Amino acid sequence: MNLEQARTNMVEQQIRTWEVLDQDVLDLLYLVPREEFVPAAHRALAFSDLEIPIGHGEKMWQPKLEARVLQELNIRKTDRVLEVGTGSGYFTALLAHRCAEVVSVEINPALAAMGRANLERHGVDHVVLETGDAARGWPSHAPYDVIVLTGSTPILPATLLAQLAPEGRLFAVVGDAPAMAARLVVAGGQGVTDLFETVIRPLANAERPSRFKF
């Protein structure tokens, strides 16, 4: 397998065609070796247009989703980012290259260990890795300029929105299958945009609408 040709094909055939035209984002996909964050058993699929299993029922996002979210968040070098769900650590690494600090929280200890090992192996710095449940926020390092949920949530918790800094941005996939919206929220009532439709696995312990009891 020619890795560099496969990487180029991923960028040109999947990612550019999905409205990702920010050259800094595209360059980053060549800089961070995606194949080295994929479990060895699935490494041949590293550049395929699909979700890749990473164990414990979890999957990596499709490459085009990773790139599109990175573009839409318009991350600045001064930003502090909260990532809910570390997974393999690949998206954490992409975020870290664009911001001042990433606080990444993983609820599954085994995945947290995998993500940490991958990030350390590649020398990714200014990342704070913690293990716990951040589906409704992670107040110990708030406020955040950017919050990214790597799993879906039926509703957006008010506690997460409250942890955004002024003009902060939050990305989440909101709703229940088969109708989920990839949503960008700007703090302070400055805007809510549904970018596209997609379906991804829910976060563990994601907040659900309250049910009336009689």
Structure confidence by residue, pLDDT tens digits, 36-51: 999 999 999 999 999 9
Q: How far is CA 6 from CA 9, 56, 151, in A?
A: 5, 27, 27
pLDDT recorded at residue 210: 80
The answer to pTM > 0.85 is: yes
pLDDT recorded at residue 135: 97
- The 10s digit of each residue's pLDDT in 89-109 is 999 999 999 999 999 999 999
What average pLDDT score do residues 120-141 get?
96
- The 10s digit of each residue's pLDDT in 132-168 is 999 999 999 999 999 999 999 999 999 999 999 999 9
Question: Residue 206's pLDDT band (boundaries 50, 70, 90)?
Answer: very high
| Residue count (the chain) | 214
- Integer Cα distance of 88 and 37 in angstroms: 6
- Integer Cα distance of 168 and 147 in angstroms: 8
Strand order across the 144-149 sheet: 127-131, 101-106, 80-84, 144-149, 164-176, 179-186, 191-197
Range 3-197 classified under CATH 3.40.50.150: yes
For residues 1 and 154, the model is more confident at: 154
pLDDT at 214 > cutoff 90? no
pLDDT recorded at residue 190: 81
60 within 8 A of 111, measured Cβ to Cβ? no
User: Across all residues in the chain, what is the average pLDDT?
Assistant: 95
Share of the chain above pLDDT 70, in %: 98
Domain edges within the chain: 3-197
Question: Residue 32's pLDDT band (boundaries 50, 70, 90)?
Answer: very high
pLDDT at 212 > cutoff 60? no
What average pLDDT score do residues 2-16 get?
96
- The 10s digit of each residue's pLDDT in 187-199 is 987 899 999 999 9
pLDDT recorded at residue 194: 97
